[in-house]
Structure 1
Amino acid sequence: MSEALHEKLERALRDAFDASTEIYKQRGFQRRIGFGSRPALVSVDLANAWTRPGNPFYCGDTMDNELIPGMQKLLKAFRDNGHVVVHVTTAYQNTDRNDPNTDMGMWHHKIPVEAVNLKDEDLWAIDSRIAPIEGEYVMLKKRASSFSGTPLAGYLRSASVDTILVTGVTATACVRTTICDGLAEGFRTIAVKECIGDRVPGAVAWNLYDIDAKFADVETVETCVNYLERVSRKPSSMAAE
């Protein structure tokens, strides 16, 4: 997309947001859910098939310029303060579209999910720049939402989590459905602004605006890091003494 078209799209989105905000405010939308006391990170599909060029799911240059650096800051705050981290990825055991027993279900009729084959571990491995460390849960999903048909909700509840900070790709699909289902499961939902991407121009801005009105609070990396440090689960050095 050219710079001129990008600026035109940005102006159109700002105008749409301004007009929609008036409607939402008048009708009681855009309320705040707030942070709780036991957070977890749910990082969605930040695996090589989405973060590195050459795959149909690749989400573009914002990966290197904004999303990965934002994730590195966020992960540091989670790890330094002893909070739960979940890395979610997607892959399929049977990518034969003609086999009725494929674990792709019906989704391959809409998008090329067969491009992420479980046999090619490098495709669905979490990007090495934000690689999981020991003790962090790496969960495989088959559908858009990280909660659909997975043990995620139970895993989070067993850790007494009440707040999920959601990051990843894409804003239009897996991130959005994860946020919606997370709220439905009873978790406070926070969408981390700089750590959510998509492959379609304007998709992130529109979805985050709409999500903020209905399903989650959209917060910056800086705000989230400050929160994670305030609710640290690690004892202070003074307390340890």
Structure 2
Amino acid sequence: MRGKVGIVVVDYQLAFTEPRYPLGGAPLVMRGLENTARFLKVARAHNVPIATCFTAYKTERDMPHWKVAAVRDQFRLDHPSSALDPQIYDKDYDVVVCKFGPSIFFQTPVVPYFIKEGVETVIITGCNTSGCIRASTIDSFQWGFRTIVPEDCVGDIEEGPHRVNLHDVGRRYADVSNADNMIAYFKQSTTLKFQSARAHVGQVERGVQALKLFTVIQNVVVASLSLKAEQFKQQSHGALGARLR
């Protein structure tokens, strides 16, 4: 990874994670949800910027020409399926946006947020791999971010499109990894930062000890010079007295 890392969580809303909805509960999506949830816990503990989104519209008139009937019928701002799944959402931490197209970056404040945070590498999680994940990955790439897609943190309704699209973005735009590697990276980064901090503290401590030693030596030298000056003064007075007599 390069520089500071940011994470996007794309469309893990109830429409995709609750089996009672037409597009909800697909095995790959549920696997992605579970892995993303445990990954985000580690990321938040390391103060990683996280942007989460859901897709919803006021009416069918303000949505694009979706060919998916369930999106046209249910993806409304006031529909319960638009709520974010609580497993991946922390209202006190995450930045949340409502998106209107496939990409989390399209006409949303996510890019300015990441720029403000100094993000250079973006990790993409969410669903669906062949749609919104692919679009978000390409946009991340186009915005100049180094992009990583953990394979087991994204999901699709069907396995075929999931595999094919990961293979394609992996050879063009992004690095394909997994949740365990991402978690290990953050934990290792913390260890390295801790070791670096300890090394810095050690350097400071050694500097303090050196300064103390220098001060002791300086005091000894000053005392020695003072003693020699006093002796010279006494000798000079004695010699002068002898000549006067």
For structure 2, list consecutive stretches of 5 or more residues without a partner in the other structure.
202-245
Match of 1:118 among 77, 82, 93: 77
Q: Which residue number in structure 2 is paired with residue 140 of structure 1?
A: 98
Q: Structure 1 residues 204, 59: CA separation in 2 closer, same or farther (over 3 Å shift)? A: farther
Structure ID, larger Rg:
2
TM-score by length of 1: 0.75
Give the equivalent residue in structure 2 for 1:150: 108
2:50 is paired with a residue whose SS is: strand
Aligned positions, number:
196
Pairwise CA distance, 1:132? 2.0
Offset, 1:128: 1.5
Offset of residue 236 of structure 1: 4.7
Residue number among 3, 12, 19 corresponding to 1:53 in the alignment: 19
Contact map agreement 2:52 2:94 (CA 8 A) in 1: yes
Instruction: Call closer, same or farther: CA 1:106–1:69 in 2, change over 3 Å.
Output: closer
2:14–2:84 Cα contact (<8 Å) kept: yes
Q: Tell me what 1:105 maps to.
A: 64
One-letter amino acid of the structure 1 residue matched with residue 68 of structure 2: I
Contact (CA 8 Å) 2:28, 2:159: kept in 1 or not?
no
Equivalent in the alignment of 1:6? none
Q: For residues 145 and 238 of structure 1, do their structure 2 counterparts lie closer, same or farther at Cα, with a shift above 3 Å needed?
A: closer
Matches within 5 A, 1:143-182: 143-182=101-140
Structure 2 distance, partners of 1:176, 1:155, is 21
Equivalence map 1:62-141=2 (5 Å): 62-64=28-30, 66-95=31-60, 102-107=61-66, 110-112=67-69, 113-114=71-72, 115-120=74-79, 122-141=80-99
1:32-65 Cα distance to aligned partner (Å, 9 max, x none):
xxx112111101000100111132332512344x
Give the residue type in structure 2 aligned to 1:111. V
Whether the 8 Å contact between 1:38 and 1:231 is mirrored in structure 2 is no
Mapped partners of 2:130, 2:117: distance in 1: 29
Shift of 1:168: 0.8
RMSD: 2.2
Q: Which SS does the other structure have where 1:41 is aligned?
A: strand
Do the aligned partners of 2:6 and 2:121 also contact (CA within 8 Å) in 1? yes
* Cα distance in structure 2, aligned partners of 1:172 and 1:74: 22
Identity between Structure 1 and Structure 2 (%)? 27
1:238 Cα deviation (Å)? 9.8
Once residues 42 and 29 of structure 2 are traced to their aligned partners in structure 1, the CA distance between those partners, rounded to angstroms, is 20
User: Which runs of 5 or more structure 1 residues have no equivalent in the other structure?
Assistant: 1-34, 96-101
Aligned to 2:170: 212
Alignment of structure 1 residues 9-48 onto 2, 5 Å? 35-48=1-14
Q: CA deviation at 1:237?
A: 10
Question: More helix per residue: 1 or 2?
Answer: 2
Amino acid at match of 1:37: G
Letter in 2 for 1:54: R
Q: How big is the shift at 1:209?
A: 1.0
Q: What is the distance in 2 between the residues matched to 1:202 and 1:83?
A: 32
